[in-house]
Structure 1
Amino acid sequence: MAGTTDTGGRRRAPIAAINVTPLVDVMLVLLVIMMVSATYIVSQTLKVELPKTATSDGETATVAAVTITDSHALYLNKQPVSEAELSARLRGLYAEDKGMTLVVSADERADHGAVVHVLDLARVEGITSFAVNVERKTR
């Protein structure tokens, strides 16, 4: 007879509870993936014990960030500047901190000459510490 079971001919009651077993399985898989990826991220860093000195004042050098866009627009610390303004502001920053570092970020479509020109402007103002900001290629 349709709708009956072999439990004495009585109908089964509909399932009133939600089965959470698949949910728990998925959550455990996500937890394992997160744990494995977290250990991979940590393993790519280098642990370095920095030396301690009695004379360190804890101050860090000034960092000025110059950005060159593909249209040759110049930005100093995310503020648009002209070449003359860049030169004057770099002069002022260097006067405040002789150990400052200039970080240059140039769009990959920007001319090499634009980067060299910015580095030359900085050298004229006395800045000798430079860094070039790049992105790591994915393998």
Structure 2
Amino acid sequence: MDEEPIDTLNVIPFVDIMLVLLTIVLTTASFIATGRIPIALPQTAHAETNKQKDKTIELAVGGVIYFDGEQVTKDTLTEKAKDLAPETSFLIRADRAIQFQQFVDVTDVLKQLKFTRVAVQTQNAAK
């Protein structure tokens, strides 16, 4: 058997595969960085936006709860929120020094009333 050792290696297919992989990585990396696919939405001259205002729940130190600026208890919060539409969105602003149980109690009230649009406001740390 007269086999010759391979002296050369054709690297062109490897380069093609690497370029395809590089293209895939760069495409997905830009999608992951933005978190959404950029699209240009159609525009209209007479657009009517029905932007609902968030209901705000503020949790202060000492167990004080404010619902849209009015001081309430957990029970009155339940009564006021019961009359709202299920699509209502809530913004919870909690002081960092409150007990975690107070936050859990408020979110439990919203969960029992079947509200799903709940956001927690945070602040960026100063660099």
Q: Do they fold alike, i.e. is TM over 0.5?
A: yes
Deviation at 1:65, TM superposition (A): 0.4
| Deviations, residues 25-59 of structure 1 (Å, cap 9, x unaligned) | xxxxxxxxxxxxxxxxxxxxxxx8772478x7520
In structure 2, what is the equivalent of residue 63 of structure 1?
Answer: 54
Gaps of 5+ in 2: 1-37
Gaps of 5+ in 1: 1-47
Q: CA contact under 8 A between 1:62 and 1:99: conserved in structure 2? A: no
Using the alignment, how far apart are the partners of 2:56 and 2:40 within structure 1?
26
CA-atom RMSD in angstroms: 2.2
Runs of 4+ in structure 1 over 4 Å off = none
TM-score, reference length from structure 2:
0.61
In structure 1, what is the equivalent of residue 28 of structure 2?
Answer: none
Tell whether 2:96 aligns with 1:105.
no
| Identity, % of aligned positions | 14
* Residues 38-49 of structure 1 aligned to structure 2 (within 5 Å): none
Determine which structure has more spread, i.e. the larger CA radius of gyration: 1
Tell whether 2:67 aligns with 1:79.
no
Deviation at 1:62, TM superposition (A): 4.0
In structure 1, what is the equivalent of residue 12 of structure 2?
Answer: none
Using the alignment, how far apart are the partners of 2:104 and 2:51 within structure 1?
26
